[in-house]
Chain A
Amino acid sequence: MADKFHDYDALPTDSHAPSFGKELRVVAVVVAFIMVLEIIARIIAPTLDYDRENIHAFPDVITDLEQRAEKSGKPRVVFFGNSLMMHGLNEDIVYKELAAIDGPEIESTKITPVGTAMLDWEYLYRRYFETEGSHPDVLVVGFVGCHIHDQEPIKLRRLSRHFVSTKDLPNLWKTEKMGFHQTSQSILCNISALEGDQPEHQLGILYSVVSDYRAGVRKNNQLISDAKERRAKEKGLTSGELEETYHRMERFIEFCKKHNVEVWFVPMPQPEVWDCNFAATALAEKHGMKVLDASNIDGMTEEDFSDGYHLGETGGEKFSKWMAQQIKQQRD
Chain B
Amino acid sequence: MLFNSYAFWIFLALLWAVYRLLPHRGQNLLLLVASYYFYGCWDWRFLPLILTTTLVNYYTAIGIEKSDSQKQHRMLMVVSAIVSLGLLGFFKYYGFFTESAAEALTWLGFHVNMNILNIVLPVGISFYTFQTMSYTIDVYRGKTKATHSLPDFALYVAYFPQLVAGPIERSSTLLPQITHPRRKRTSDFSEGLNLILMGLLLKVVIGDNLGFITDGIFGAEKGEINGTDALVGIYCFAFQIYGDFAGYSSIARGVSKWLGIDLMTNFRMPYLARNPSDFWQRWHISLSSWLRDYLYIPLGGNRGSSFKVYRNLMITMLLGGLWHGAGWTFIVWGGLHGIILCIYRALGDKFTLPKLWGRVVATFFFFHLICLTWLFFRADSFDQAWEMLRLILTQQEMTSLSRYGLGMIAFFCTPLMVYEVWLNKSGSLRRLETVRWGWRAAAYCYIVFMLIVFPPPVFGQFIYFQF
Interface set of A (CB-CB < 8 Å, partner B): 1-6, 8-12, 14, 16-20, 22-23, 25-27, 29-30, 33-34, 37, 180-181, 184-185, 194-195, 198, 201-202, 205-206, 209-213, 215-217, 219-221, 223-224, 226-228, 230
Contacts and interface: CB of A to CB of B under 8 A. Distances in A.
Contacts of B6: 180-181, 184-185
Contact of B174 (A2, A6, A14, A37): A2
B441 A29 contact: yes
A29 B453 contact: no
A8 B268 contact: yes
B309 interface: no
Among A22, A201, A210, chain B packs the most CB atoms within 10 A around the CB of A210
A23 B285 CA distance: 29
Contacts of B186: 14, 17-20
Among A8, A184, A211, A221, chain B packs the most CB atoms within 10 A around the CB of A8
Contact of A206 (B5, B177, B264, B411): B411
B400 interface: yes
Given A23-B190, A209-B407, A201 B400 contact: no
B173 A18 contact: no
Contacts of A11: 187, 428, 430, 433-434
B364 to A, nearest CB: 23
Interface stretch (B71-79, B95-103, B216-224, B347-355): B216-224
B428 A17 contact: no
Interface in B416-460: 427-430, 433-434, 437-438, 440-441, 444-445, 448-449, 452-455, 459
A81 B364 CA distance: 53
Contacts of A198: 452-453, 455
Contacts of A30: 441, 444-445, 448
A18 B444 CA distance: 15
Contacts, number: 172
A223 B400 contact: no
A20 B441 CA distance: 14
B448 A34 contact: yes
Contact of A17 (B190, B404, B448): B190
Interface residues of B, number: 62
Contact of A8 (B174, B405, B428, B441): B428
A211 B455 contact: no
B189 interface: yes
Contacts of B297: none
A9 B400 contact: no
Contacts of B387: none
B193 interface: yes
A172 B180 CA distance: 49
Contacts of B212: 220, 224
Interface in B375-415: 399-405, 407-408, 411
A219 B401 contact: yes
A138 to B, nearest CB: 38
Interface in B146-169: none
Contacts of B216: 219-221, 223-224, 227
A22 B56 CA distance: 46
Contacts of A202: 453-454
Contacts of A211: 403-404, 407
B189 A23 contact: yes
22 contacts: A1-B176, A2-B173, A2-B176, A5-B262, A5-B264, A9-B265, A10-B430, A12-B428, A14-B186, A17-B185, A17-B186, A18-B440, A22-B437, A27-B193, A29-B441, A198-B452, A210-B411, A212-B403, A213-B404, A216-B401, A224-B215, A227-B221
A4 B403 CA distance: 44
A5 B265 contact: yes
Nearest to A7: B427
Nearest to B225: A223
Contacts of A17: 185-187, 190-191, 433
A210 B441 contact: no
Interface of A, secondary structure class, is helix
Contacts of A2: 172-174, 176-177, 262
Given A227-B216, A227-B220, 16 more contacts: A2-B174, A2-B176, A5-B265, A10-B428, A14-B186, A23-B437, A26-B193, A29-B445, A34-B452, A37-B449, A202-B454, A206-B408, A212-B400, A215-B401, A220-B213, A223-B220
B183 interface: yes
A224 B186 CA distance: 48
Contacts of A4: 262
Which 5 residue pairs spanning A and B have beta carbons closest together?
A: A216-B404, A227-B219, A17-B187, A210-B407, A220-B216
Contact of A220 (B221, B262, B401, B444): B401
Contacts of B180: 1
B262 A223 contact: no
A154 to B, nearest CB: 13
Contacts of A27: 193
Nearest to B185: A17
A213 B400 CA distance: 8
A217 B176 contact: no
A9 B429 contact: yes
Contact of A14 (B187, B262, B437, B455): B187
Nearest to A204: B453
A155 to B, nearest CB: 12
Nearest to A18: B190
A209 B213 contact: no
Contact of A26 (B5, B185, B220, B444): B444
B117 interface: no
Given A37-B449, A194-B452, A219-B400, A3 B173 contact: yes
B105 interface: no
Nearest to A217: B404
A223 B183 contact: no
A33 B445 contact: yes
A9 B266 CA distance: 11
A186 to B, nearest CB: 11
B459 A33 contact: no
Given A209-B411, A220-B401, A33 B217 contact: no
Among B174, B265, B268, B427, chain A packs the most CB atoms within 10 A around the CB of B265
B145 to A, nearest CB: 14
B264 to A, nearest CB: 4
Contacts of A226: 219-221, 224
B116 interface: no
A230 B221 contact: yes
A48 to B, nearest CB: 13
B223 to A, nearest CB: 12
Given A223-B216, A227-B220, A18 B187 contact: yes
Nearest to B442: A29
A107 to B, nearest CB: 41
Nearest to A34: B448
Contacts of B221: 226-227, 230
Interface string B340-376: 0000000000000000000000000000000000000
A194 B455 CA distance: 12
Contacts of A216: 400-405, 407
A185 B6 CA distance: 8
A215 B437 contact: no
Nearest to A188: B6
